[in-house]
Amino acid sequence: MSARSALHGIPFAKMTGSGNDFVFFDGRHVSLERVTSPEVVQSICNRHNGIGADGIVVLESARPSADVRIHYFNSDGTPADLCGNATLCSTAMSAILGLADASGMTLTTPAGLIASRMMEGLPEIDLQPVTAIRAHMPIDLVPGEERIGFAVAGIPHLVILCADADRVDVEGRGPLLRRHAASGPPGANVNWVSPMPGGQWRYRTFERGVEGETLACGTGAVATAVLLSTWGLAAASTVTIRTSSGRDLSVALTATPSPDAGYRPILRGEGRVVFRGVIESI
């Protein structure tokens, strides 16, 4: 029996975080090994022959060290240390499943321990301090781009200030920057950001592991807010960023005394169950 045919009868939930979508499994009832091989993840995430998603998440109890352990895999089958929107969705799903108290929980990830909660119907997560902040990167700009910075918000990100994010050729420019040597061997997600009226910001992300544009990226929103603050462009301690789904992510930044970790972020946004189902065949 192939790994894909062994998926028959497995229950799942489809969730979205501002358009960043995931297939969720309850690790109490589905073994991690059964749904996380690269072949299986790619099949599940396939948008034509599978369920379709940017990644999959398996949640399991992590007591006594934390309430919940998050296992996250990109749609290409590679594991990731952190995904901001998947963690927002995990907060909501952990409360729904009774794995943790909605008023406050701890989530453990390869990127560290995260405190989170449900606030006025939306999940909110306290992320680890952002590290390796660089206001300027030695990368050539193209017309429409004004400056490029870098930060590690659980995973590495390039952030590009531009005239109009909606006019950027994300699919053309993204692959070149995603693997740029200046970002280091793992490469980086790439975010373009431009100002909107009223002090808000519009951004778009080319996401590694998906190897394409996603409608939202939680850690990308965090890295973008940090670079905007580093550049002196964010007028308030909470930065509101408009995703490609039309929904907003908010990033509250608290300064830290460390010169390398300039901000401790709190990310708030959507974590919504779209539908539930049972796998028949993939």
User: Do 16 and 71 fall within a single domain?
Assistant: yes
Contact 189, 157 (CB under 8 A): yes
User: Do 197 and 172 fall within a single domain?
Assistant: yes
124 assigned to some structural domain: no
CATH code, 108? 3.10.310.10
Q: Where in the sequence is the domain holding 29, given as residue range(s)?
A: 5-118+271-278
User: Rounded distance, CA 258 to CA 180, Å?
Assistant: 27
125 assigned to some structural domain: no
Task: Classify the C-alpha dihedral 172-177-178-181 as positive or negative.
Answer: positive
User: Do 78 and 35 fall within a single domain?
Assistant: yes
User: Do 61 and 162 fall within a single domain?
Assistant: no
CA distances from 116 to 49, 223, 240 (A): 34, 19, 19
123 assigned to some structural domain: no
Residue 151's pLDDT is 96
Q: Is 162 a catalytic residue?
A: no
Residue 259's pLDDT is 59
92 assigned to some structural domain: yes
User: Do 111 and 18 fall within a single domain?
Assistant: yes
User: Rounded distance, CA 144 to CA 195, Å?
Assistant: 13
126 assigned to some structural domain: no
150 assigned to some structural domain: yes
User: Rounded distance, CA 26 to CA 235, Å?
Assistant: 41
User: Do 185 and 81 fall within a single domain?
Assistant: no
Tell me how crowded residue 31 is: count the other CB atoms within 10 A of its CB.
Answer: 12
From 109, 218, 208, select the one nearest 153 (Cα to Cα): 218
CA distances from 268 to 116, 122, 228 (A): 10, 7, 18
3 state SS of 171: helix
Catalytic residue among 45, 89, 162, 217: 217
User: Rounded distance, CA 201 to CA 178, Å?
Assistant: 22
In total, how many domains does the chain have? 2
User: Do 149 and 256 fall within a single domain?
Assistant: yes
User: Rounded distance, CA 58 to CA 85, Å?
Assistant: 14
143 assigned to some structural domain: yes
User: Do 106 and 138 fall within a single domain?
Assistant: no
User: Do 262 and 138 fall within a single domain?
Assistant: yes
pTM of the model as a whole: 0.92
Contact 15, 96 (CB under 8 A): no
User: Do 165 and 62 fall within a single domain?
Assistant: no
65 assigned to some structural domain: yes
Q: Is 83 a catalytic residue?
A: yes
| Biggest distance spanned by C-alpha atoms of the chain | 58
Mean pLDDT per 10-residue run, the chain (282 residues)? 80 97 97 96 97 97 96 96 96 98 97 95 95 95 97 95 97 96 93 94 96 95 96 91 97 80 89 97 91
User: Do 138 and 65 fall within a single domain?
Assistant: no
Residue 1's pLDDT is 53
User: Do 11 and 109 fall within a single domain?
Assistant: yes
Q: Are strands 145-152 and 189-195 parallel, antiparallel or unpaired?
A: unpaired
From 152, 148, 145, select the one nearest 136 (Cα to Cα): 148
Dihedral (Cα; 91, 202, 221, 216), 10-degree rounding: 50
From 265, 266, 259, select the one nearest 133 (Cα to Cα): 259
